[in-house]
Amino acid sequence: MDKVLILASIAPMIEGFNIPNIDLLQKEGYEVHVLANFKDEHTEANERNNHFRNQLEFRGVLVFDIPINRNPFKMINYKAYKEIKQIIDHENYAFIHCHSPIGGVLSRLAAREARKRNTKVVYTAHGFHFFKGAPMKNWLMYYSVEKWLSRYTDCLITINEEDYHAAQNNHFKVKKVEKINGVGINKNKFKPIDTELKNQRRSILGYKENDFLLIYVGELSKRKNQQLTIDMMKKVVQLIPQAKLLLVGDGELRETYAQQIKDLRLEKNVFLLGYRKDVDQLMSVSDIVISTSKQEGLPVNLMEAMGTGLPIIATDCRGNRDLIHHGENGYLVDLGDGEQLASYVGILYHSSSLREAFGLKNLEYLDKYSVQSVMSQMTQIYQSVNYTPDSSLINNKKVTKALIK
C-alpha cells in the first residue's frame, strides 16, 4: 500500500483544512500519515488536539507528533527538521502534501533526497506572507525563501488570485502552480434557516428576537484585527442599542480585547465566546458577518457566512476581495476605517431587503467553494503528481456524501 504524508506546523491546520483530503486519499487505498505539533501551552487547546489525534488514529491514520514552532528562528525547528527528514527517508512516501509557512519550509528541505527517489512534494500556500501592502521585511524574508524553495516543489497550490499570479509572475521554479477554491465548505452544515427556527435557536442560545447580531469568527490576533471591530461597536451601539457583537475564537489577544471591551463599556454588547463547536448554529442566528482582517488566504469564515446566506462586511484585503463583490453580496471597507465599517452596519440594519438580497447572492456564489468542488480540484492535482484515483470518485454519490459528513 502506497503512503502519503500530510504535514503542517500545528494540529489545528490539519483539523481545519485537511480532513476531506485525508478521506479522499484513504478511499483510494492510500495509507495516510499526519505530522504536526499536537502540543499546546494552553490546557483547553491541548485537550482538543489530543481528542483530534484520537480521531485520526481511529480513522487508521498514523500520527507523528513533532514539536514544530511557528517562530522560524527557534532552534527547536532544527531538531524538528532532523526528525521529519528521518521519517520521510524511512517511509518512502508516494507524495507529501505540506501546509503552513514553517511546515512548508521544513518538509521541502527534508524531502530533497526523497524527491530523487521519486517522492513528489505538494505545498499549499494558505496566504503568502508577502502580499500587496505587506511590510518590506516580509518581502525580504518570506518572498526570498518561497522562491528558493519552489525548486523543491512539484506542485504549488494557491487559494486566491493574488498569490496565484505572484507565483506565476515572479518566476518561481516550481514545476506546476495551481489555484483551488479554498478548503471546501460543507453546504449541508452551513445553510440558511427560516425565521421561526432562527428565533427558536436565539432563545436557546440566550439572544432576543430583536437583537441585531454581528458575528466575527477567527483567532484573536493582530492579523484578524478584532480591535477595529470592537472600536466600531462604540459607534454602532449609539445608533443601534440592541446590537451585539459575537467574537468567536481564542487567541493570544483574548485578555487585551477583554480589557478593551471593559474600557469602552461594551460589556453588554460585545462578547468573547471563545472556541466553539457550534459555529454553524451561531451564524444561523446572526444578521451580519464581519471580518476586519489585515490579510487572508481564502477565509473560511466568510465562505461559511456565504453558505448561511448572510450579508458580509469585510476589509478590502487579499482573500476577502476574492469572495466579496462590493455592493452585490456585501461591502468591502478600507483597512482601518472604523467609520466606514459602522456606516455599512447601519445601512444593513435599516434594510432587511438589502440583507436578504446580499444573502441570496452569496448562496449563488457558493457552489464553486463547496467541498465537492474543491475535492474535484484536488483529485486533478493529485493526478498531476502521479496520483491516479478512480475517475468515478467525484461522481460517486456515496463517496461524495461521506466526504461532507
Q: Report how far residue 300's alpha carbon sits from residue 218's, in angstroms, rounded to the nearest whole number.
A: 9
Percentage of residues of the chain with pLDDT beyond 90: 83
pLDDT of residue 139: 82
Whether pLDDT at 236 is above 70: yes
Q: Please report the domains of the chain, with CATH numbers, ordered by start residue.
A: 3-184+370-403 (3.40.50.2000), 195-367 (3.40.50.2000)
Whether pLDDT at 330 is above 80: yes
Residue type, 131: F
pLDDT of residue 142: 85
∠ Cα 303 308 309 (to 5°): 95
State if pTM tops 0.95.
no
pLDDT of residue 392: 47
Whether pLDDT at 399 is above 50: no
Q: Report how far residue 133's alpha carbon sits from residue 294's, in angstroms, rounded to the nearest whole number.
A: 10
pLDDT of residue 43: 77
**Contact of 332 with 310, CB cutoff 8 Å:** no
Whether pLDDT at 400 is above 70: no
Could you give the C-alpha distances from 217 to 51, 222, 224, 276, 335, in angstroms and in order? 22, 14, 9, 10, 18
Whether pLDDT at 402 is above 60: no
| Three-state DSSP state, 253 | coil
Q: Report how far residue 143's alpha carbon sits from residue 137's, in angstroms, rounded to the nearest whole number.
A: 9
**Contact of 297 with 224, CB cutoff 8 Å:** no
Q: Which long-range contacts (CB under 8 A, 24 or more apart) does 193-199 make?
A: 193/284, 197/284, 198/284, 198/285
45: pLDDT confidence band, cut at 50, 70 and 90?
Answer: confident
pLDDT of residue 397: 47
pLDDT tens track for 59-108 = 999 999 999 998 888 999 999 999 999 999 999 999 999 999 999 999 99
pLDDT of residue 295: 93
| Nine cell digits for residue 316 | 478590502
Between residues 402 and 92, the one the model is more confident about: 92
pLDDT of residue 390: 53
| 36 DSSP 8-state letter | E
**Contact of 199 with 209, CB cutoff 8 Å:** yes
pLDDT tens track for 170-182 = 778 998 999 999 9
Beta-carbon count within 10 A of 18 CB: 22
pLDDT of residue 391: 47
pLDDT tens track for 284-313 = 999 999 999 999 999 999 999 999 999 999
| Of 8-12, 126-130, 199-203, minimum mean pLDDT range | 126-130
pLDDT of residue 130: 86
| 327 DSSP 8-state letter | T
Percentage of residues of the chain with pLDDT beyond 70: 95
Q: Report how far residue 300's alpha carbon sits from residue 182's, in angstroms, rounded to the nearest whole number.
A: 8
Q: Report how far residue 245's alpha carbon sits from residue 272's, in angstroms, rounded to the nearest whole number.
A: 9
404: pLDDT confidence band, cut at 50, 70 and 90?
Answer: very low
Q: What is the mean pLDDT of the chain?
A: 93
Whether pLDDT at 12 is above 50: yes
Say which residue the cell 487572508 belongs to: 296
Whether pLDDT at 41 is above 90: no
Q: Which residues pair with 6 in a beta bridge?
A: 34, 97
- DSSP string spanning 334-371? -TT-HHHHHHHHHHHHT-HHHHHHHHHHHHHHGGGGBH
pLDDT tens track for 352-394 = 999 999 999 999 999 999 999 999 999 999 888 864 545 444 4
Between residues 201 and 129, the one the model is more confident about: 201
**Can you tell me the mean pLDDT for 252-277?**
97
| 181 DSSP 8-state letter | -
Within the chain, how many helices (H) and strands (E) appear? 19, 13
pLDDT tens track for 134-169 = 788 888 888 889 999 999 999 999 999 999 999 988
pLDDT of residue 136: 86
pLDDT of residue 386: 66
Pairing verdict, β 270-274 and 243-248: parallel
| Nine cell digits for residue 307 | 453558505
pLDDT of residue 131: 83
Whether pLDDT at 200 is above 70: yes
